[in-house]
Amino acid sequence: MSPSDCLFCRIARGEIPADLVHEGERLIAFRDISPQAPFHVLVIPREHIQSLGDAEVGHGALLGEALLLAAEIAAREGVAEEGYRTVVNTGKDGGQTVHHLHVHILGGRSLGWPPG
């Protein structure tokens, strides 16, 4: 999947609408179109990285920023006090369906463990 026809690259470029909760230079965040919890937001890098497995050492700061942004958004949106979960699905068995690295933030209800 090239960046030209990647769904999340297209959202990052503003070609496809999304319910954005953050627009930064390197990262954006938007509400998941099919929420699995009362609060479900995705944090993505603007750069097209297919999956966590494709991230390189040079992406370390960007990945750290994505996690810190997730925490900031969770706090701002009022789910941090009760708690939330950050998830990076990777590959087929990990349940990854969009091949552009993204961090799910899920909250607003008690989440089961282990995940299905």
Q: Is 89 in the site for ligand AMP (CB under 6 A)?
A: yes
For the annotated catalytic residues, the residue numbers are 102
Q: What angle do CA 35, 103, 50 make, to 5 degrees?
A: 115
CB closer to ligand AMP, 2 vs 81: 2
Q: Which two tokens stand for residue 100?
A: 């552009």
The answer to whether residues 21 and 73 touch, using CB atoms and an 8 Å cutoff, is: yes
Q: Is the dihedral of CA 47, 50, 51, 56 positive or negative?
A: negative
CB closer to Zn ion, 6 vs 88: 6
Q: Interface with ligand AMP by CB under 6 A: which residues?
A: 7, 18, 30, 32-34, 42, 89, 95-98
Q: Interface with Zn ion by CB under 5 A: which residues?
A: 6, 8-9, 48, 100
